Amino acid sequence: MLEEGYAAVTSRRTAARAGLKPQLVHYYFRTMDDLFLALFRRRADQGLERQARALASAQPLWSLWDLSRDPRGTALTMEFTALANHRKAIRAELSASAERYRTGLLEAFRTVLARYELDEAEYPPIVCAVLLTSISTFLVIEQEMLGMSTGHAETVTFVEDVIRRLEGDRNPAADIASVLPIKPERRR
């Protein structure tokens, strides 16, 4: 999916990568949609776990920002979004998952804004959540999918200046590692 888009993920090619015959994909997952759903659910669970770890870190804003800028997560989400366009089951799963993720982010901003004694009317937590997600998502799309980067560095600097005003400099050690992507699992 990441290399060639969801349309390139077929039973034949999936099986070939696993060194097996295409029919086994259907044996394990029946339809391709079931396979995509299984993949999505596993990634969504991992995403929520990572978000929880980011929220629990000493610098939640830095952690959330780093997490949402992880290209692999966003690129996969975009593929699933495109797939969701004509697969109802995927779409339902994806939007439910996005809602859960947003709720987590909202709680994080509520907590953080209270901690730094900011006015919720001036910086509504839900707006902060949407802004953080939209900016990071968009930058990843342009960078990874189009190879574009005009204005990206300046925008990152701008956002990070805001975070720095709240949480101070990024602590280089512990937090970032706790949010790193999870390695692919081996088949059982």
Partner DNA sequence: GTCTATACCGAGATAGAC
Partner DNA sequence: GTCTATCTCGGTATAGAC
From residue 101, how far is each of 38, 45, 165 by CA, in Å?
A: 18, 10, 25
Instruction: Find the binder of DNA among 2, 4, 5, 21 (CB under 7 A).
Output: 21
For helices 60-68 and 125-140, angle between their N-to-C axes, nearest 10 degrees: 40
Report if residue 170 touches a second copy, rule: CB under 8 A.
no
CA angle, corner 122, sides to 118 and 123, nearest 5? 70
Q: 92 — phi, psi (to 5°)?
A: -60, -45
Q: Which option in DNA, a second copy, none does residue 184 bind, with CB closer than 5 to 8 A by kind?
A: none
CA–CA gap between residue 53 and residue 144 (Å, rounded): 25
Judged by beta carbon, residue 20 or residue 118, the one nearer DNA is: 20
Q: Which option in a second copy, DNA, none does residue 32 bind, with CB closer than 5 to 8 A by kind?
A: DNA
Report if residue 38 touches DNA, rule: CB under 7 A.
no
CB atoms within 10 A of CB 105: 24
Torsion of CA 13, 17, 21, 27, to 10 degrees: -90
Instruction: Find the binder of DNA among 13, 41, 42, 115 (CB under 7 A).
Output: 13
Report if residue 155 touches a second copy, rule: CB under 8 A.
yes
Instruction: Find the binder of a second copy among 11, 14, 46, 137 (CB under 8 A).
Output: 137
Give the chain's largest Cα–Cα span.
59
Report if residue 31 touches a second copy, rule: CB under 8 A.
no
Q: Residue count at the site for a second copy (CB under 8 A)?
A: 42
Report if residue 121 touches a second copy, rule: CB under 8 A.
no
- 8 Å CB contact between 166 and 112: yes
Summarize as ranges the residues that interact with DNA (CB under 7 A). Answer: 10-13, 20-24, 26-27, 30-33
Q: Site residues (CB under 8 A) for a second copy?
A: 4-5, 7-8, 78-79, 81-82, 84-86, 91, 94-95, 98-99, 102, 106, 124, 126-127, 129-131, 133-135, 137-139, 141-142, 145-148, 150-152, 154-155, 158
